[in-house]
Structures are given as structure tokens and as C-alpha cells.
Amino acid sequence: MKVLLGVGLLSAMLLGGCSSLFSSHVEYATVKPESFPMLRAVGYAPINAQLGKDQQQKMLQAMKASKLDAYKELTEMVYGQKIDATNKLQEMVLTDNQLQASVKGAISGARVVKTYAVDNIYITELELDFEQVYYIYQNTNPQQTIKSVRYH
């Protein structure tokens, strides 16, 4: 029994040692999509509803708020929305109906196309070119596929 165990252990060591005699070279290729979408989002903010001492401060606040609203729109397009809904029934009569939406994500590479005011509304237009997003992502986390494997 001990001899059989020793032979088995010796065989495992020899076979394990043989695997280091072979090495491999793996060549990777970058995976690039055929086309890239261009996303556009518009954000709105009422100027007079902003908190501020004078009209200039309200305008600056509306500019920031409309830009954030446009980024929220882009984030919804890229990541989607999380929807939480509850309905309560009492004696088969709807007594409470609640709906809550949220969005979470990071947007990189968006650019402001245009900002302007119309009447009492400040508007910001953003654009997100997914080709630029692709190159940003490739720099941090490359998407690759195995092109070839050579054993020596």
C-alpha cells in the first residue's frame, strides 16, 4: 500500500514537473464595435425658481441645475432607471399607490453642445459620443479576445 502511494506521489510530481517544460504565448486582439451611437440629452431648469439674492445668481444656479438635469438624462439612457413601486389594497380597493425612480451611474466623455435661456427656462444640451467612451474605457479596462495561442 505504501509503495503504491509512493509511486502515485512520484508520478504526480513528475507529471507536474513536465508541465513547466511547455510554455505558451497568447496573442490578444482588441474587440472594436462596428458602429458607435451618439446620445443627446437636454436638461431644463426654471430661472426664477432658483435660490439667489439677485437675477445673476439665479441664472448661474439655473445653468448648473440644467446641466445636472442633462447629465441625469444621459445617465438614464446609458444605465436605465431603477423603479420601485408599491400598491396597497384594502378590501379590494386601491388605497395607496407609490412610485419611486432613481438612476445611478458615471458618465465620462460627454460634452456641452449648447446652453441658452428661453423665457424663464435655462436649457443645456449634452452629447455623448460612444466612440470616445470606447477609447476612454479601453485605456482603463481593455476589451480583448484571444487572437492566437502558440505553444513552445
**At residue 16, does pLDDT exceed 60?**
no
pLDDT, residue 4, reads 52
Residue where the block lists cell 485605456: 139
Distances, alpha carbon 39 to alpha carbons 54, 78, 111, in Å: 35, 9, 11
Domain range for residue 147? Answer: 23-151
| CB of 135 closer than 8 Å to CB of 77 | no
Q: What is the pLDDT of residue 104?
A: 92
Residue 11 covered by a domain? no
- Rounded to 5 degrees, what angle do the CA atoms 72, 112, 82 make? 10
User: How many domains does the chain contain in total?
Assistant: 1
* CA separation for the pair 40, 36 (Å, rounded): 13
Choice between 132 and 9, residue whose per-residue pLDDT is larger? 132
What per-residue confidence (pLDDT) applies to 15?
55
Which backbone phi and psi does 36 adopt, to 5 degrees?
-130, 130
pLDDT at 6: 54
- β-pair type (82-90, 93-102): antiparallel
pLDDT in the model for residue 94: 86
Instruction: Give per-residue burial for 78-99: e unless 16+ CB within 10 Å, then b.
Output: beeeeeeeeeeeeeeeeeeeee
Domain for residue 14, yes or no?
no
Has residue 15 been placed in a domain? Answer: no
Among residues 64, 67, 58, the alpha carbon closest in space to that of 114 is found at 67
- Asked whether residue 150 carries a pLDDT value surpassing 70, the answer given is yes
Residue 5 maps to a domain: no
Q: Please report whether residue 48 resides in a domain.
A: yes
Give 83's pLDDT tier (boundaries 50, 70, 90).
very high
pLDDT for the residue 65: 95
Let me know if residue 133 belongs to a domain.
Answer: yes
Residue-wise pLDDT tens digits, 47-73: 999 998 999 999 999 999 999 999 999
In tens, the pLDDT along 89-139 reads 888 888 889 999 999 988 888 999 999 999 999 999 999 998 888 887 777
